[in-house]
Amino acid sequence: MSDAQLLRGRLEGIEAEFRDVSDRMADPAVAANASAYRELAQRFAELEPVVDSMRAWRAAESQLEDARQLARDEQDEELRAMARDEARALEARAEELERTITALLLPRDPNDEKNVILEVRAGTGGGEASLFAAELFRMYQRYAEARGWRFDVVDLSESEIGGVKEAVANIAGKGAFSRLKFESGVHRVQRVPETEAQGRIHTSAATVAVLPEAEDVDLVIDEEKDIRLDTFCASGPGGQHVNKTASAVRITHLATGIVVQCQDEKSWHKNKAKALKVLRSRVLDKMLSEQHAQEAAARKSMVGSGDRSEKVRTYNFPQNRVTDHRIGFTLHRLDAVMLGDLDELIDALATAEQAERLKNEA
């Protein structure tokens, strides 16, 4: 059986399921059950783009056969030439739709719809690295705001010159992880620091980590046995006290030694809740990283492993250029990127990952 026949057989099953889901959603008894209806609506949303593309593919193939028939049988040479041109266009359209359907049928990353824990840390380069880390953090904040996502600062450790040593945020919104998951790694900046009297270009770096927010069902943490909870007075840069109450929270996961602190909120309870979100995600990430370490080479895709030690992107300010090294993609509008216009970069990475997955499926 050919690949096209296998695909058609699979699509027939999907279309039958789509009709069944549609019929059940129209049932008043199901509509009255909020959780059942929500589950069906989610499945409907997953199936609808596949079914729409499948029906467009069928229509294109039918029109293609008609155009080929006309090109064979028509007596008028001008009409036959027109039919041949139409057939070529329809053939390209049918092939494009088949690729789209195949991509839609690829297994989805189960984390794609999850919220994100974003961590940005200054790397090599001293004060200039901390300034760059602060700019990256603002870049992601602007991107999140442009997409209508919620951006909550969890922890912010500032440097003496207005940069950040470490910044952690929780980003909540539809598809947040699916868009930001390619950002993990070392981000390198090349520019003339404001403190450089000779005008020489310096290179410094910051590290970005993007973790899917772990839910209670992903990892259970027993607050009595698994963690140590410490409180302290929140403080700003230079040791200035933000408030005099012990509202800041530091949580240590005893088994792994992972430490998370949060002092952004005035409420101790809110800081604790935020810190636990980050802790759960970091612990789960560590567990999964260790579990898959031996498979990493086999699983590594065109867009990289997500390893935070891997250099992923260079931001060259004198040339207004940003280059993603994983796919050799360059944009000459760094100024817009730093203002949060990341979609072109992220789309290129997503396309490269999809192409790699399709190649591996073949």
- According to the model, what pLDDT value does residue 235 have? 64
Residue pair 303/328 in contact by the 8 Å Cβ criterion: no
Average pLDDT for 154-179:
92
DSSP secondary-structure letter at 181? G
pLDDT in tens, 260-312: 888 877 788 888 888 888 888 888 888 777 766 644 444 444 455 555 567 99
Among candidates 120, 116, 113, 111, which has minimal Cα distance to 277?
A: 116
- Residue 329: the pLDDT is 96
Q: For the residues 125-144, what does the mean pLDDT come to?
A: 95
Q: In degrees rounded to 5, what are phi and psi of residue 39?
A: -65, -45
* Nearest CA among 86, 55, 94 for reference residue 68: 86
Q: Is the pLDDT of residue 97 over 50?
A: yes
Instruction: Copy the structure tokens of residue 261.
Output: 């602190």
Q: How confident is the model at residue 232 (pLDDT cuts 50, 70, 90)?
A: confident
Give the C-alpha separation, 119 to 352, whole Å: 24
pLDDT of residue 328: 95
pLDDT, mean of residues 204-218: 83
pLDDT at site 316: 97
Average pLDDT over residues 174-203: 89
The C-alpha atoms of residue 157 and residue 211 are separated, in whole angstroms, by 19
Gap between the Cα atoms of 14 and 11, Å rounded = 5
Each residue's pLDDT tens digit, 322-340: 999 999 999 999 999 999 9
Six-digit token string for 214: 């772990």
pLDDT band for 362, please (50, 70, 90 cuts): low
CA 304 to chain centre: 13
Alpha-helical segments (H) within the chain: 3-25, 28-31, 34-73, 77-104, 126-146, 176-180, 268-291, 296-299, 334-338, 343-361
Look at residue 361 in the predicted model and tell me its pLDDT. Answer: 61
37-69 tens-digit pLDDT: 989 998 999 899 999 999 999 999 999 999 999
Band the pLDDT of 86: cuts 50, 70, 90.
very high
Q: pLDDT-derived band of residue 237, with 50, 70 and 90 as boundaries?
A: very low
User: How much is the mean pLDDT over the chain?
Assistant: 85
Alpha-carbon span 229 to 315, nearest angstrom = 39
Per-residue pLDDT band at 179 (split at 50, 70, 90): very high
